[in-house]
Structure 1
Amino acid sequence: MQHSAKHLKRVTAVGAVALAAFSLSPSVASALPTDNPGGHRAAPDATVVGGSRAQQGAFPFMVRLSMGCGGSMLSDDIVLTAAHCVDGSGPDTSITATGGVVDLEDPDAVTATSTEVVQAPGYDGTGKDWALIKLDRPLDQPTLATAQDDSYDKGDFTIAGWGADQEGGAQQRYLLTAQVPFVDDATCKSAYSGLVEDEELCAGKMDTGGVDTCQGDSGGPMFRKDDAGEWIQVGIVSWGEGCARPGKPGVYTEVSTFAADIEAAAAQLG
């Protein structure tokens, strides 16, 4: 089942958007322009809804991707992002990854160019929303461990991004961050009949809304601390209805479901 028009991926077309206009927005699945690769409508500039500005160095594994998505460093030269952010698998030198800063205009920002992309095998717009981007050189920044099982798929999660800070808003220059609570599958299913329960994870404030990822946050990580106090990625910003609406949580790729596939694909990239 394909997501309906109102249940949209949280990508934003940024090719023509000035760097200073970048921002995060609450729910990754907001409306996007129709000229976006992969048939997902791209949204206006936007960042994490209900968030606050992240401190420099707080989330050093975060990267901004030039097609209008977020991502996390899986290794020093491989970015983990969403399948709907890329246009299939194979050689690709069109993507620029920016990291090392919370301010996208900071002169200390580091960049690298893509060389190859792996989109989740079998991805058809529903579920399996993960992809890897191989870079032409390592970025000198920490990586983010991925959850290997569902032990950490509950509780409160941290989200971050340069997407819109309100539904239909503009992309942000500064990295925004917020916390969202876990929403169980049964409750999320009542909001979205198309939820792929074995592959997707929901989070957000069901009663009040107000905090979420949004356009431009697609592909970014949802993460929390593990038992050792280290950050671990449990989700990838995927889709939702609008941004931060009551009763409409954000939907994230459940990383633990695809941990083995992601590891295997990364090994093939070298």
Structure 2
Amino acid sequence: MRNYLKALKRCTAVGAIALAGFSLQPGSAQAADPGPRPGPGVVGGTRAAQGEFPWMVRLSMGCGGALYTRQIVLTAAHCVNGSGANTSITATAGVVDLNSSQAVKVKSTQVLQAPGYNGTGKDWALIKLAKPVDLPTLKIADTPAYNQGDFTIAGWGAASEGGGQQRYLLKATVPFVDDATCQGAYGGSLTPAEEICAGYLDTGGVDTCQGDSGGPMFRKDDSGAWTEVGIVSWGQGCARPGYPGVYTEVSTFASDIKSAAASLGG
């Protein structure tokens, strides 16, 4: 298990969320984060345009996610507590402004946390919604071919370490950081076969942060389609030089995610 005093999961407890103008609906599926957090989008980001990333989802426990199907959200395992029936989570989709009257809000019915998840690696989970939403979905990488280059990150989490959650969806670009370099930064805490790193190692300044957990890291594939290559997982602080963001390596778990989604029937 990682030292959570240093390496913090990027989810925000419901009680810590403070955002002028609205409040996220609390639920019983609290983030399974045993350590302290800097507090309740994306550091160094800019506003995303309405409809730019239509598969982005905000979850009421203080995490992000992406529509894997129109009725299933892919998020991080540490954002949920185990698997089973769960009607406490509200997914908000279809907007970049969480205050928008056009927001689509749907309750959860089931949660499936990655089998064998114990806080290290395997940081993915699926949330089945009560009904399908009429929005595009984000396909996942089923090959490591796209685990390189520059990636896009997006979320409604803190825009600075220790900052508050954001009303508007923010986006940024981060470059790939190889496993050996990332492993060195985190003193051996990385699980290379299951995690992928990205960020500006020398300068910092751009990163996901608390409240972005579970959201996608994505890039264009060879056909020009957006493809999810990572799931926001953890990091030391936010956007600190020398400490890239750590993401679940989606291609490693693509077949598991596909099978799990089929079992949910969504």
Q: What TM-score range do you get, normalising by the shorter chain? A: over 0.9
Distance across 2 between alignment mates of 1:50 and 1:159: 11
The aligned residue for residue 201 of structure 1 is 196
The aligned residue for residue 133 of structure 1 is 127
How far the C-alpha of 1:2 sits from its partner, in A, is 2.8
The aligned residue for residue 119 of structure 1 is 113
Distance across 1 between alignment mates of 2:196 and 2:16: 32
1:246 aligns with 2:241: yes
1:213 aligns with 2:208: yes
1:157 aligns with 2:163: no
Amino acid at match of 1:119: Q
Distance across 2 between alignment mates of 1:170 and 1:255: 28
Distance across 2 between alignment mates of 1:21 and 1:186: 43
The aligned residue for residue 31 of structure 1 is none
Two-structure CA RMSD over aligned residues (Å): 1.7
Picking from 84, 102, 120, the partner of 1:108 is 102
Distance across 2 between alignment mates of 1:127 and 1:140: 32
* SS of residue paired to 1:38: coil
The aligned residue for residue 73 of structure 1 is 67
Structure 2: runs of 5+ lacking an equivalent: 23-28
Amino acid at match of 1:223: F
What whole-Å deviation, never above 9, does each CA across 1:142-198 have from its counterpart, x for those lacking one? 000000010000000000000000000000000000000000001001101110000
How far the C-alpha of 1:6 sits from its partner, in A, is 1.2
1:2 aligns with 2:23: no
Distance across 2 between alignment mates of 1:260 and 1:226: 18
Amino acid at match of 1:57: G
What whole-Å deviation, never above 9, does each CA across 1:27-80 have from its counterpart, x for those lacking one? xxxxxxxx95424445523x1000000000000000000000000000000000
CA contact (8 A) 2:67 2:74 kept: yes
Distance across 2 between alignment mates of 1:145 and 1:125: 25
- Normalised to the residue count of structure 2, the TM-score between the two structures is 0.93
1:269 aligns with 2:264: yes
* SS of residue paired to 2:32: helix
CA contact (8 A) 2:77 2:113 kept: yes
CA contact (8 A) 1:73 1:144 kept: yes
- Normalised to the residue count of structure 1, the TM-score between the two structures is 0.92
CA contact (8 A) 1:20 1:104 kept: no
Amino acid at match of 1:107: S
Distance across 2 between alignment mates of 1:165 and 1:37: 20
CA contact (8 A) 2:204 2:240 kept: yes
Picking from 23, 31, 55, the partner of 1:61 is 55
What whole-Å deviation, never above 9, does each CA across 1:208-265 have from its counterpart, x for those lacking one? 0000000000000000000011100000000000000000000000000000000000
The aligned residue for residue 90 of structure 1 is 84
> How many residue pairs were aligned?
258
Higher relative contact order (CA 8 A, sep 6+): 1
**For 1:28-43, what aligned pairs fall within 5 Å after superposition?**
37-40=31-34, 41-43=36-38
* SS of residue paired to 1:201: strand
Runs of 4+ in 1 over 6 A off after TM superposition: none
How far the C-alpha of 1:14 sits from its partner, in A, is 2.9
CA contact (8 A) 2:13 2:30 kept: yes
CA contact (8 A) 1:3 1:126 kept: no
Picking from 229, 254, 258, the partner of 2:253 is 258
The aligned residue for residue 144 of structure 1 is 138
Identity %: 68
